[in-house]
Amino acid sequence: MSKKLTKRSDDYSKWYNEIVAKADLAENSGVRGMMVIKPYGYAIWEKMQAELDKMFKETGHENAYFPLLIPKSYFSKEASHVDGFAKECAVVTHYRLKNGEEGEGIVVDENAKLEEELIIRPTSETIIWDSYRKWIQSYRDLPLLINQWANVMRWEMRTRLFLRTAEFLWQEGHTAHATKAEAIEEAQKMQGVYAEFAEKFMAMPVIKGTKTESERFAGALDTYTIEALMQDGKALQAGTSHFLGQNFAKAFDVKFTSNEGKLEYVWATSWGVSTRLMGALVMTHSDDNGLVLPPKLAPIQVVIVPIYKTDEQYEAISEKANQITKELRKLGISVKFDNRRTHKPGWKFAEYELKGVPLRIAIGPRDLENGNAELARRDTLTKEIVKQEELTERISGLLVEIQENLYKKAYDFREDHITEVNSFEEFKEVLDKKGGFISAHWDGTTETEEKIKDLTKATIRCIPLDAKEEEGICVFSGNKSSKRVLFSKAY
Structural contact between residues 389 and 371, judged by C-beta atoms closer than 8 angstroms: yes
Structural contact between residues 141 and 256, judged by C-beta atoms closer than 8 angstroms: yes
Site track for a second copy across 22-61, x = CB under 8 A: -----x-xxx--xxxxxx--xx--x---------------
What b-and-e string marks burial along 461-473, b requiring 16 or more CB atoms within 10 Å of the CB?
bbbbeebeeeeee
Q: How many residues bind a second copy, per CB under 8 A?
A: 62
Options 71-79, 316-324, 392-400, 465-473: segment touching a second copy (CB under 8 A): 71-79
**Smallest distance, a second copy to C-beta of residue 122, A:** 11
**Smallest distance, a second copy to C-beta of residue 68, A:** 5
Q: Where are the beta strands (DSSP E) in 121-206?
A: 144-153, 167-177
Site track for a second copy across 312-351, x = CB under 8 A: ------------------------------x---------
**Smallest distance, a second copy to C-beta of residue 3, A:** 17
Cβ-in-10-Å burial (0-12, 13-18, 19+) of 51 comes to: middle
**Smallest distance, a second copy to C-beta of residue 108, A:** 6
* Phi/psi of residue 152, nearest 5 degrees: -135, 165
> Which of residues 4, 94, 383, 451 is near a second copy by CB under 8 A?
94
Strand partners, 336: 303
With respect to a second copy, which residue has the nearer C-beta, 72 or 453?
72
**Smallest distance, a second copy to C-beta of residue 115, A:** 10
Distances in Å between the alpha carbon of 237 and those of 159, 194, 207, 279, 411? 16, 11, 10, 11, 16
With respect to a second copy, which residue has the nearer C-beta, 106 or 263?
106
Q: Residues in the chain, how many?
A: 491
**Smallest distance, a second copy to C-beta of residue 335, A:** 15
Rounded to 5°, the CA angle 169-170-176 comes to 150
Q: How far is the C-alpha of 21 from the C-alpha of 146, rounded, in Å?
A: 35
Site track for a second copy across 150-189, x = CB under 8 A: xx-x-x-----------x-x--------------------
Strand partners, 137: none
With respect to a second copy, which residue has the nearer C-beta, 174 or 208?
174
Rounded to 5°, the CA angle 419-424-425 comes to 90
**Smallest distance, a second copy to C-beta of residue 179, A:** 18
**Smallest distance, a second copy to C-beta of residue 30, A:** 5
- Contacts with 401 (C-beta within 8 Å, 6 or more apart), sequence order: none
Q: How far is the C-alpha of 177 from the C-alpha of 266, rounded, in Å?
A: 6
Q: Is 95 an interacting residue with respect to a second copy (CB under 8 A)? A: yes
**Where on the chain is the footprint of a second copy (CB under 8 A)?**
27, 29-31, 34-39, 42-43, 46, 62-76, 82, 86-98, 105-106, 108, 117-120, 127, 130-131, 134, 140, 146, 150-151, 153, 155, 167, 169, 342
